[in-house]
Amino acid sequence: MSKFFNEMFQSDAVRPPYARLEDWVATMPTELRSLKQAEAEELFRRIGITFAVYGEGGDPDRLIPFDMFPRVFSALEWHRLERGIKQRARALNAFLADVYGRAEIIKAGRIPGHLVWRNDAFEKAVVGITPPKGVYSHIVGIDLVRTGPDDFFVLEDNCRTPSGVSYMLENREIMMRMFPELFHRNRIEPVENYPALLRRTLASVAPAKCDREPCVVILTPGHFNSAYYEHSFLADLMGVELVEGQDLFVEGEFVWMRTTEGPRRVDVIYRRVDDAYLDPLCFRPDSMLGVPGLMDIYRAGGVSICSAPGAGVADDKAVYTYVPDMVRFYLGEEPILKNVPTWQCARPDELKYVQENLGELVVKEVHGSGGYGMLVGPMATKEQIAAFRAKITADPDNYIAQPTLALSTVPTFVDQGVAPRHVDLRPYCLVGERIELVPGGLTRVALTEGSLVVNSSQGGGVKDTWVLAE
């Protein structure tokens, strides 16, 4: 028997959430499957859903592979996940408000101060600023993995600008277009109201100086950014302007947008630009992507920036290990979702264990993302392990390590038919006056047999994620 939990099959029987998919896949001719797969790829290409990978040659606008076999959660499974995700989002925002304020959690000895004060993502320019409604991270992407029927673990938190929500929406659109009969036979919760919820969330955190319907914009680095499609996609669906730094300017107490009808005041900026590039007068002086003087207006309460500058200190992989303590400290509750056990290489005793067991562990850079800068020990060669051991020895503070989890698998269409492939899940939690998330998320799938790396930048694909109605 496989050591991996198969989300569709258990003891050779189909698990209830997948009951109505067994006949669908069994009766689909190979020719039809190939035809539908080609149709899906053509739709993605025509719509323009592409993903650029920095530093690679070849096609700068490549498709992320789309797998037509959906991933399914029961209403009961989702209810538990939703409660855990909302709890975690509340705790992370409480942590951010605290460390940029009185730092009570550090004074109480529940988290080491150096993990915050010496963190590259900690922005001193934000200390003492209270953002509207006290919200720092407005879109929290929480990456989850599953190892058993009731075993879910948080792999990491994304509190800055989690990407991928356009795939969640387009995966659903394409599945409904290609297989409408599946949606007639299964009561599947909708996800298409996400843009409306996002706009409502952003409008709800307009600054106190806003005395009318808030003007919301999305600030993008430009069309060379790998997630530019998503920026334009969300702006279109929300009915807001997509702007670059050069389209905005500061005058008086407010931020203004250049339009053909003259300047228009901007109240809420959903920024998809990194902190360092937001304002050349406050952060990197060579930035051409930001708005000079933006932070002065933000500090004076003339504009909301979502997510707030400095929010990244909460999704650092070393800080991650303390999120369960944050839940207990700020909320007085026990965590609903568990962390993956994590060793911090900055601690000498834990470093020793990691060095001695590299072949069994997953090692990540503290500030890494996208699957880069990591070692998957069981899949690595002796040479790769030796090279990584040298990197960790040279800079132990930069690395954490985790056990190689037995990630669950979901049936996936491959050249030979249907086979299990490992998956993770990124739901998107919206935090404003209320905390909400649509029933679903982005399921990423490792298309290579045996691979545990699902990141799109590392060759992973995506699936539609279903939550069945009660």
Give residue 383's identity as a one-letter amino acid code.
E
pLDDT of residue 46: 81
Least confident window among 189-198, 243-252, 299-308, 443-452: 443-452
pLDDT of residue 138: 98
**What is the arithmetic mean of pLDDT over 420-424?**
95
pLDDT of residue 451: 82
pLDDT band at 303 (very low <50, low <70, confident <90, very high): very high
Query: Residue 176 above 60 pLDDT?
Result: yes
pLDDT of residue 62: 65
**What is the arithmetic mean of pLDDT over 395-400?**
90
Residue 61 in tokens: 């606008």
pLDDT band at 209 (very low <50, low <70, confident <90, very high): very high
At residue 25, what are phi and psi to the nearest 5 degrees?
Answer: -75, -35
pLDDT band at 2 (very low <50, low <70, confident <90, very high): low
3-state secondary structure of 232: helix
Q: Is the preceding peptide bond at 166 cis, omega within 30 degrees of 0?
A: no
Q: Where are the beta strands (DSSP E) in 52-150?
A: 66-73, 139-148
Give tens-digit pLDDT for 56-72: 444 556 678 899 999 99
**What is the arithmetic mean of pLDDT over 123-143?**
96
Mean residue pLDDT of the chain comes to 92
Q: Determine the Cα–Cα distance for residues 159 and 141; give it in Å rounded to an integer.
A: 7
pLDDT of residue 368: 65
**What is the arithmetic mean of pLDDT over 398-415?**
91
Q: Determine the Cα–Cα distance for residues 308 and 211; give it in Å rounded to an integer.
A: 21
- Taking a C-beta distance cutoff of 8 angstroms, is the pair 470, 75 a contact? yes
pLDDT band at 317 (very low <50, low <70, confident <90, very high): confident
Q: In whole angstroms, how far apart are CA 338 and each of 54, 81, 231, 324? A: 33, 11, 32, 8
At residue 351, what are phi and psi to the nearest 5 degrees?
Answer: -60, -40
Tell me the percentage of the chain whose pLDDT exceeds 70: 95
**What is the arithmetic mean of pLDDT over 152-177?**
94
Tokens 């086979």, located at residue: 419
Q: Determine the Cα–Cα distance for residues 14 and 12; give it in Å rounded to an integer.
A: 7
Q: Determine the Cα–Cα distance for residues 413 and 189; give it in Å rounded to an integer.
A: 24
DSSP 280: T
pLDDT of residue 57: 43
Query: Residue 412 above 80 pLDDT?
Result: yes
Residue 378 in tokens: 């069981």
* pTM of the shown model: 0.92
Query: Residue 55 above 60 pLDDT?
Result: no
**What is the arithmetic mean of pLDDT over 449-470?**
85
pLDDT of residue 25: 92
Tokens 């492939």, located at residue: 421
- Taking a C-beta distance cutoff of 8 angstroms, is the pair 401, 340 a contact? no
pLDDT band at 307 (very low <50, low <70, confident <90, very high): very high
**What is the arithmetic mean of pLDDT over 403-432?**
93
Helix count (H) and strand count (E) of the chain? 13, 23
3-state secondary structure of 64: coil
pLDDT of residue 365: 87
Q: Is the preceding peptide bond at 307 cis, omega within 30 degrees of 0?
A: yes
pLDDT band at 1 (very low <50, low <70, confident <90, very high): very low
CATH 2.40.110.10 describes domain 341-403: no
pLDDT of residue 264: 97
At residue 462, what are phi and psi to the nearest 5 degrees?
Answer: -135, 155
Q: Determine the Cα–Cα distance for residues 364 and 254; give it in Å rounded to an integer.
A: 41
Give tens-digit pLDDT for 79-102: 999 999 999 999 999 999 999 999
In the chain, what are the domain boundaries?
A: 9-207+303-336+406-467, 341-403
**What is the arithmetic mean of pLDDT over 30-43?**
90
Question: In sequence order, what DSSP letters do the residues of 134-173 get, joined into one string?
Answer: G-S-SEEEEEEEEEETTEEEEEEEE-S----HHHHHHHHH
The gap between the terminal CA atoms of the chain, to the nearest Å, is 32
**What is the arithmetic mean of pLDDT over 131-139?**
97
Give residue 255's identity as a one-letter amino acid code.
V
Give tens-digit pLDDT for 214-262: 999 999 999 888 889 899 999 999 999 999 999 999 999 999 999 999 9
Tokens 């005793």, located at residue: 349
pLDDT of residue 41: 87
Query: Residue 50 above 90 pLDDT?
Result: no
- Taking a C-beta distance cutoff of 8 angstroms, is the pair 318, 366 a contact? yes
pLDDT band at 291 (very low <50, low <70, confident <90, very high): very high
pLDDT of residue 56: 43
3-state secondary structure of 387: helix
Q: Taking Cα atoms as reference points, which of 234, 203, 213, 218 lies closest to residue 132?
A: 203
Q: Taking Cα atoms as reference points, which of 283, 299, 327 lies closest to residue 120?
A: 283
pLDDT of residue 455: 75
pLDDT of residue 302: 97
More confident residue, 405 or 303: 303
Residue 191 in tokens: 């996800």
- Taking a C-beta distance cutoff of 8 angstroms, is the pair 96, 136 a contact? yes
pLDDT band at 367 (very low <50, low <70, confident <90, very high): confident
Q: Residue 423 forms beta bridges with which residues?
A: 445
Q: Which residues of 449-463 are buried (b: 16+ CB within 10 A; e: fewer)?
A: eebbbbebbbbbbbb
